Chains A and B, each alone.
Chain A
Amino acid sequence: MQLIHCPWCGPREEVEFHYGGQAGVAYPERPAELSDQDWAEYVFYRDNPKGTFAERWSHSAGCRRWFDAVRDTHTYRFLSTTKPRPKEVRV
């Protein structure tokens, strides 16, 4: 079991966390214009690299907040964990 550094709570044991898959998958800006293939890629397709991967994790047994992590999927080492960037406000 490894320690994961929650950006709010600090290092905690892995069992406190929940995995949320790839980070930065944005909801389509113009959903009505999406083709079936575009929808398939938004809903089902995610990157699956052997190496560095930007992911979402949740400190579900602690502060219960989501954060972004960069992790190596080959060594499982966490390279960074950061608070999510604030969403851009669209007018």
Chain B
Amino acid sequence: MTTNPPGADLPEHPDFLWRNPEPKKTYDVVIVGGGGHGLATAHYLAKNHGITNVAVLEKGWLAGGNMARNTTLIRSNYLWDESAAIYEHSLKLWEGLEDDLGYPILFSQRGVLNLAHTEQDIRDSVRRVEANKLNGIDAEWLEPDEVKRICPIINTSEDIRYPVQGATYQARAGIAKHDYVAWGFARRADEAGIDLIQDCEVLGFTVDGDRVTGVRTSRGDIGCGTVALCAAGHTSVLLDHLGVRAPLQSHPLQALVSELLEPVHPTIVMSNAVHVYVSQAHKGELVMGAGVDAYNGYGQRGAFHIIERQMAAAVELFPVFARAHLLRSWAGIVDVTPDASPIIGHTPYENVFVNAGWGTGGFKATPGIGWCYAHTIAHGEPHPYVAPFSLGRFTTGALVDEHGAAAVAH
């Protein structure tokens, strides 16, 4: 933990971000969605595959959707091999991303504790630690006194409703500054000649047989060689234009921050059972996330009782938070799938690819999915890391069931 005052190590805002071009008549690749995933995909299309006749279409402003609304946690301690592979690939990219982008992203590997509160939690956690180790991912099981050593402000008393029985710990996990991550990718994509087009909503598609020939937008029609959907919670709306169904349900996912505080919280703490997760941002806000609201929603807000439950859990685990003031709260719209794993790859249209269904976990995957999705677009075939996440798995039954397995309920 830094000894500087909170925020002292924040970089200055850059004086130049990116061009703001008019859309061209046609592009080799049109990426729909200018969030983290779309921008990372654009960057790696240029960097790894030399494909630069690319547009990223964003209906609002770049990285103003879920990318601006998430809690910035990065970790790779997933249970199943398929998930471990993509998230660990992503974590390794995070570890070199600042150099790759030539831009500060404030990636801080401060570790994550995933708390266990019951005997079954302990068994599941130890199993996940061993699975992580077999996949070459750093993981430890910690007893309550070791949890207390890493994060002294946690209440490890046995007298609370859900006592802390231990935790898994991934030391390489961390946080990054989400705006800077987006801006870093956007600047690199822009430098490579990729057009980042904001205020450009996709209203439909022009279809010829099993190919899409153009994208109809609020800024006119744009011809395309390949379309790469990257619109997170609004993917169903886009797929509806194409008459394609996917097992996606969009839900509000709420988060909030406290006022600025001195550094009190040295790591990331997540709890599945009482469902709260907490880290302290670089400036000093406590950043807390809840689970998704139960009902479908696109409204970018959620219900207060979710926040109330989340706060009750947080204050019990961290009594020191009791006097902190809530500064603001918000919701992103996440798309969840029946097995809590993403959907990446082919659609029924031969030149349309989909990247969706990341649920609550999309931010940590940003560089990893950008890398693999760019490969998928460039080769017309899924990258091996994303091949298990095809839409077809819901028909074959080869699900990657991370519900409750991946250290947090979705």
Q: Report A-chain residues with C-beta under 8 Å of the C-beta of B234.
A: 50
Interface contact A76-B299, CB-CB below 8 Å: yes
Chain A positions within 8 Å of B249 at CB level: 21, 46, 48
8 Å CB contacts to B: which residues of A16-35? Answer: 18-19, 21
Complex Cα spacing A75 to B236, Å: 17
Q: Is the CB of A73 within 8 A of B298?
A: yes
- Spell out A's residues near B (CB within 8 Å): 1-2, 14-15, 18-19, 21, 36-37, 39-41, 43-46, 48-50, 53, 55, 71, 73-76
Q: Count residues of B near A (Cβ-Cβ below 8 Å).
A: 24
> Are B247 and A46 within 8 A (Cβ)?
yes
Residue of B nearest to A41 (CB): B245
Q: Judge whether B296 and A48 touch: CB under 8 Å.
A: yes
CB distance from B310 to the nearest CB of A (A): 14
- A-side contacts of B6, CB under 8 Å: none
Alpha-carbon separation in the docked complex, A55 to B297 (Å):
12
Q: Is B295 an interface residue, CB under 8 A from the partner?
A: yes
Instruction: Tell me whether chain A's interface is mostly helix, strand or loop, or mixed.
Output: mixed
Residue of A with least CB distance to B240 = A49
Closest-CB distance, B290 to chain A (whole angstroms):
14
Report the Cα distance A53→B240, complex, angstroms: 14
Complexed CA–CA distance, A49 and B238 (Å):
10
Closest CB in chain A relative to B307 CB, distance in Å: 10
Q: Which chain B residues (348-406) contact chain A, with CB distance < 8 Å?
A: 394-396
Apart from A41-B245, A46-B247: 17 A-B pairs, beta carbons within 8 A: A1-B305, A15-B305, A19-B294, A21-B296, A36-B395, A40-B394, A43-B338, A45-B245, A48-B249, A48-B250, A49-B240, A50-B236, A55-B295, A71-B295, A73-B250, A76-B295, A76-B299
Asked if B106 is at the interface of the complex by the 8 Å CB criterion, the answer is no
Residue of A nearest to B300 (CB): A74
Asked, given contacts A19-B294, A44-B338, whether A74 binds B299 with beta carbons under 8 Å apart, the answer is yes
Q: Can you offer 7 A-B residue contacts whose CB atoms are under 8 A? A: A18-B294, A21-B249, A44-B338, A48-B296, A50-B237, A55-B296, A75-B299
